[in-house]
Each structure stands twice: as structure tokens, then as C-alpha cells.
Amino acid sequence: MPLKMLREFIKFESSAGIILFLSALAAVVLVNSPLHDYYDLILDTQITIAIGALSLSKPFLLWINDGLMALFFLYVGLEIKREVVEGELSRKEQITLPLLAAIGGIVFPALIFLYINKENEIYQQGWAISSATDIAFALGLMMLFKNKIHESLKVTLVAIAIIDDLAAILIIAFFYTDNLSLLSLALAGTCILALFLLRLFQIKKTTTYILIGIVLWVCVLKSGVHATLAGVVVAFFIPLKDEKINKSPLRELEHELHSWVTYGILPIFAFANAGITFDGLTFSSLFNTLTLGIVLGLVLGKSLGVLLMTAIGSVLRICTLPDQVSISQFIGMSFFTGIGFTMSLFIGTLAFDDVLLQTQIRLGVIVGSLIAGLVGSVFILVSKNKVN
């Protein structure tokens, strides 16, 4: 019976968001309990993998953020490629609205954050934290209202979030890298060339790409560029179709990764990175400019950016609202894009190393995401039911 209930729960479209929320809540509870030392002990445990002269030694937290999240970005890369080639982002009329909305949802939060932190150059490094959307959380929350909304609104949210993820990948590549190792970059380039040759000679076996991808991940990790980008690069070379056997290597790998990412990697990441201690935090902590910039960026920046860019596109007649979607529902969806959580926390770990700043970031991301989700839910709740 428990196994049957678990299967039924997993089939529930909001299950991913629920598990992600419970993982984050568990981290917050544990960090503020007498067991907090064990939480830190687990994340600080040094893990070393050595093959001959080559060795990688990192605390467990960094294995999660650099290793497991590379698999997450592999999954995201596969999703982006599929949507661009044959999905919701493959035609001009399909991509115009989410592209404009995503641009607004990236630029406006950054501008708000930078304005609030104009006097603090250190804090300005976090300008991109509130520019990302957490697909699992946002979509999970939206599916709680599936009886009120039309499928086209869900598709629009997913398209905006996918473009957000692609932008986040580029932001990480260009703005959040350490000192570069030219030798490691050269080796990474060799791996990319090998992936290109595999595609050129139409090699369809996914395992071959993954093995080269592992070597690429090590090279990128040693290069100073964030290692998660290796996952995206590999994803873009995975073949979408194999006509000989009428299968899609990309779709099969995406399907295989889905459960691992949704019910394993993302909850683990949330548990490892959402632990915010209440020690020393007061109501005034919300008005620290770093925290306030993140909250306002997620709540106001994302929604205003999406709405204003969509309005401009409508005036110019280059895009229209999704089919059978009311203004109130679209506003609600725009606030859902402000649920940054996983991606915002991830970018925050890249922007700052300071433990105290990480606490402020986590506070801003959690509070901002909660407010954005609640406000978006209110707009959808007061809207008219979908038209069948």
C-alpha cells in the first residue's frame, strides 16, 4: 500500500514542487535544531576521488553543487535543445512572447538589484541572483490550479523558464568564473572537438557522449569555468533522432534523467543549500540591501519585466497573450516566474563565498520566492475558470 501511494503521488504533477519545498524546509528545521552540527558535518565532509596522479578532493557540498548540478544542467540542456529543434521554441510565432517576457524577467530584476545596491560594489556581484526561475517549483505551483487555467498558460511559463535557464547558463559562463587555466581549457576544447566528431560521423550511442562528457567535466572543473557548463555542452551534441532504429537518443536520455533530477538531484541541492539559520536574524535583516534587492527583484522585477515586455510586444503586434488566458491569469503567471529558488540559490553560491552573505542570500531567495508564489496564486484564484 505505501508503494502504491508513492507511485500515485509521483504521478501528481505538483509532486516535484512539493518534494523540493519539503527538502528546503527540512534543511531550515535541521539547521535551527540541536542537530545543526551534524548538518554542517555532512556537508563539510571531504571526499576524494583519485585515479593515478589525477585526484579531485572537495567537501560534499561542492560535489553536490559542481557534480550533481552538472547532471541537472545536462537535463536542462537536453530540454532546451528539444524545444528549440521541434518544440515550443521552434517557430517564430511560438518563441516571440516567451523570449520578450524572459528578457524583461532577466533585465528588470538586475536593474532593481543594482539600484538598491548602488552604494555597495561587493553586493553588486549578486546582480543575477534574482533573474532566474525555478521550473520545478513554478510549474508545480501552477499545476495546483490546473482546473482553472488553460494548457497554453503552462506552456508559456515553461518556455519562459527554459529561456531563463539558457540565459542563466550564459551568465554563469561569462560572469561567474574563477581564474582560468589555459591547459585545462585546451583539454576541454579537445573534448568538445571529440563530441563534434561524434556528431559529424553520426554516432548515436549516448554512452559514448557521456564518457567524453565526464572527461570534459573534469577539464572544465580544473579550468576555472564552472563545471556545470559541461553538462550543457554535452546535451547540445546528443542526437535528437536515430532514423535507423526510429528512436530519439536525446528523448530517451531526458526521460532517464527526469526522475533522478526531479526526485533526487534537486531535492538534495535544496537540502544542502537552503539551510538558513535564524541566529542573529531579525526583521531588520530583510532590509539589508543584499536581501532586499533579491526579494524585490524576484517579486517586482520578474513580474514587471514579463508584463511590460509582453505589453510592448502586444502594442507592436509581434505577440499576443496565450489562447484562452485572462489578464489576471497572465499576471499570476508573471509572478510565478519570480519563484527563483534552486537557480537563484545556485547563482548565489557562485557570486559569494562569505557565510554571512550566503545567509542573507538564502533569506532573500526564500522570502522572495514565497511572496512571488503567494501573490501569483491570488491572481489566479480570483480569475475566471478556463474556457474548455
User: What's the rounded mean pLDDT across residues 119-137?
Assistant: 89
This prediction's pTM: 0.79
Q: Is the pLDDT of residue 388 over 50?
A: no
Question: Using one digit for the tens of pLDDT, what is the confidence trace for 134-164?
Answer: 877 787 788 778 778 887 888 888 888 888 8
pLDDT at 7 over 70: no
Q: Residue holding cell 485572462? A: 326
Average pLDDT for 47-74: 86
Give pLDDT tens digits for 302-321. 999 999 999 999 999 888 88
Statement: residue 244 has pLDDT above 90: no
Backbone angles phi, psi at 382, to 5 degrees: -85, -5
Residue 73 has pLDDT above 90, yes or no: no
- Can you give the pLDDT at residue 13? 57
Residue of 63 and 227 predicted with greater confidence: 63
Instruction: Categorize the per-residue pLDDT at 212 as very low, low, confident or very high, splitting at 50, 70 and 90.
Output: very high
Q: Which range has the worst mean pLDDT, 94-98, 176-180, 307-311? A: 176-180
Contacts 24+ apart (CB under 8 A), 137-140: 137/17, 137/20, 137/21, 137/339, 137/341, 137/342, 137/369, 137/373, 138/17, 138/336, 138/337, 138/339, 138/373, 139/13, 139/16, 139/17, 140/13, 140/14, 140/15, 140/16, 140/17, 140/18, 140/20
What is the rounded CA–CA span in Å between residue 196 and residue 8?
42
Q: Of 350 and 103, which is predicted with more confidence?
A: 103
Percent of the chain exceeding pLDDT 90 equals 42
CA distance 12 to 143: 9
Q: Which domains does the chain have, with CATH numbers?
A: 2-176+226-381 (1.20.1530.10)
- pLDDT reading at 258 higher than 90: no
In 3-state terms, what secondary structure has residue 190?
Answer: helix
44-68 average pLDDT score? 86
Q: How far is CA 193 from CA 213, 221, 224, 228, in A?
A: 12, 18, 20, 18
Q: What number of CA atoms fall less than 13 Å from residue 361's CA on the CB side?
A: 29
Read off the pLDDT band of 208 (50, 70, 90). very high
Residue 207 has pLDDT above 90, yes or no: yes
Q: Rounded distance, CA 285 to CA 300, Å? A: 19
